[in-house]
Amino acid sequence: MMASTYNAKDEDGHITVAGPGGGTLRSRKPENTAFKQQRLPAWQPILTAGTVLPAFFVIGLIFIPIGIGLYVTSNNIKEFEIDYTGVDMSSPCFNCSQNFSWNSTRPCTCSIPFYLDQPYESNVFMYYGLSNFYQNHRRYVKSRDDSQLNGDSEALTKPSKECEPYAFHDNKPIAPCGAIANSMFNDSLELFYNDPNGTKVQIHLMKTGIAWWTDKHVKFRNPGGNNPNLTVAFQGTTKPVNWRKPVYELDSDQENDGFINEDFIVWMRTAALPTFRKLYRIIQKKKDMVLTLPRGNYTLEVVYNYPVRSFEGRKRMILSTISWMGGKNPFLGIAYITVGSVCFFLGVVLLIIHHKYGNRNNSADISN
């Protein structure tokens, strides 16, 4: 019969499905299964003051020690930070920051003396920090070509449109293309220890181990496969506009040159917030010495290449030790202690409530 055997309902693109089979279920007894009768065995937890009470105490008891641990750890991390932007007239880098030009051939250098009032044990990590630098701006974040960076030869000569306006220069494809690469941090920082006896000892800064292992070994690859000659591999491309040297001259070390240069890789991991720090170098603890950086006077020598004053940015150099929780950050410790205490407090409140009102409940239970 026409459409009468099923529901010919007007639905207008509605995903309503008319109820299960009009009339097709005729004279069929519904199956008596637990699922169909909504009688699946079920656990029916009831949260009452009584059941939650121990949980609160347990949380409190776990969180407070963790929090204290975190707080102490964070406090034990030694961190030294120095702003070398050169905003103040008194700052050694003032001149460099004033007379900045992309085309200047002679690099501007400045040296900043500082004093570490406590010795740094174990490995020390050297970061550079930038402020008011929007690495997370959308136009900036997407301005890269990951296939190019992964060594794809086609993408090398035909950079993605996302790289605009940093895709081509003088009709040559830019490698690496994009705004991120173009604005790579190119100050070079060197650290000298001023011996009490007057000599300046350069501290060895390790360039590797600063980027994620997977980035260095999988995500970033030089074009041309295993061809050791990067100059050839990058033939036909041009360096990013703001760079002083092409990508294949970033480092003399073959394993740290081209796209797999770790400074470059670190830079390419865009920061989450406009004030950020990036790992620059690692000062490894020498085997024979107890202290990596003893207390004393140091000099930071900066080759000032990176302009930040135009957007009111700041540049910092940070020396920090690292613990199991990472860099210095008291937030976690405080948060854990707070939450733990709150839980403990609530536990006490609940205990009181439980004692005052819970008894009546119990008696009702018994009468039942």
Partner 1 sequence: MHRHDDISWIDAKISYNTCEGRGLLCLHHLFKNHFLGGDERRVDSRTIYVGHRPCPASEPFIPPKFCDNRIVSSKYTVWNFLPKNLFEQFRRIANFYFLIIFLVQVIVDTPTSPVTSGLPLFFVITVTAIKQGYEDWLRHKADNEVNKYPVTVLEDGRRIRKESEKIKVGDVVQVEEDETFPCDLILLQSSRDDDTCFVTTASLDGESNHKTHYTVPDTEKDLESLNATIECEQPQPDLYKFVGRMHIYKNNQEPAVRSLGPENLLLKGATLKNTQKICGVAVYTGMETKMALNYQGKSQKRSVVEKSINAFLLVYLCILVSKALVCTTLKYVWQSKPGQDEPWYNEKTQREKDTNLYLKMFTDFLSFMVLFNFIIPVSMYVTVEMQKFLGSFFITWDKDFFDPEIKEGALVNTSDLNEELGQVEYVFTDKTGTLTQNNMEFIECCIDGFQYKYRDASSELDGFCVTDGPVSKLQQKAGREKEELFLRALCLCHTVQVKESTEQGQDQVDGLTDQLDGLGVDGELSQPQEQQRGFIASSPDEIALVKGAMRYGFTFLGLESKTMKILNRNNDVEKYELLHVLNFDPVRRRMSVIVRSTSGDTLLFCKGADSSIFPRVRQEEVERIRMHVERNATEGYRTLCVAYKHLSAVEYAQADAGLREARLALQDREEKLMAVYNQVETGMSLIGATAVEDRLQEEAAETMEALQGAGIKVWVLTGDKMETAKSTCYACRLFQRNTELLELTVRTLEDGGRRREERLHELLLEYHKKAVQDAPPVKAGVTRSWSSANQDYGFIVDGATLSMVLNSSSDSNSSRYKNLFLQICQNCTAVLCCRMAPLQKAQIVKMVKNSKGNPITLSIGDGANDVSMILEAHVGIGIKGKEGRQAVRNSDYAIPKLKHLKKLLLAHGHLYYVRIAHLVQYFFYKNLCFILPQFLYQFFCGYSQQPLYDAAYLTMYNICFTSMPILAYSLLEQHICIEVLLDNATLYREIAKNAMLRWGPFLYWTILGVFHGLLFFFGVRYLFSNPALQDNGQVFGNWSYGTIVFTVLVFTVTLKLALDTRHWTWINHFVIWGSLAFYVFFSFFWGGIIWPFLRQQRLYFVFANMLSSVSAWLVIILLILLSLLPEILLVVFRKPRGPHSRQVQFVMIKFVLI
Residue placing its CB nearer to partner 1 in the complex, 22 or 296: 22
Residue placing its CB nearer to partner 1 in the complex, 118 or 362: 362
**74-103 residues near partner 1, rule: CB under 8 A:** none
The residue from 162, 190, 249, 301 that contacts partner 1 (CB under 8 A) is 162
* Residue 211 in contact with partner 1, rule: CB under 8 A: yes
Residue placing its CB nearer to partner 1 in the complex, 206 or 297: 206
Q: Which helix (H) or strand (E) holds 96?
A: helix 94-98
Q: How far apart are CA 360 and CA 354, in angstroms?
A: 10
Alpha-carbon torsion 120, 121, 126, 131, what sign?
Answer: negative
* Residue 38 in contact with partner 1, rule: CB under 8 A: yes
Stretch of 107-115, 164-172, 194-202, 228-236 contacting partner 1, by CB under 8 A? 164-172
**45-74 residues near partner 1, rule: CB under 8 A:** 45-49, 52, 55, 59, 63, 66, 70
Q: If we measure between CA atoms, which residue out of 69, 89, 85 comes closest to residue 77?
A: 69
Stretch of 109-117, 195-203, 287-295, 329-337 contacting partner 1, by CB under 8 A? 329-337
Per-residue tokens: 112? 């900043």
Identify the three-state secondary structure at position 169.
Answer: strand
**Which letter does DSSP use for residue 297 in this model?**
E
The residue from 122, 142, 190, 314 that contacts partner 1 (CB under 8 A) is 142
Alpha-carbon torsion 311, 148, 258, 319, what sign?
Answer: positive
Stretch of 87-95, 193-201, 296-304, 317-325 contacting partner 1, by CB under 8 A? 317-325
Q: How far apart are CA 72 and CA 60, in angstroms?
A: 18
Residue placing its CB nearer to partner 1 in the complex, 116 or 339: 339
The residue from 120, 125, 243, 344 that contacts partner 1 (CB under 8 A) is 125
Phi-psi region of 146 (alpha: psi -120 to 50; beta: other; left: phi over 0): alpha
Alpha carbons within 13 A on the beta-carbon side of 51: 4
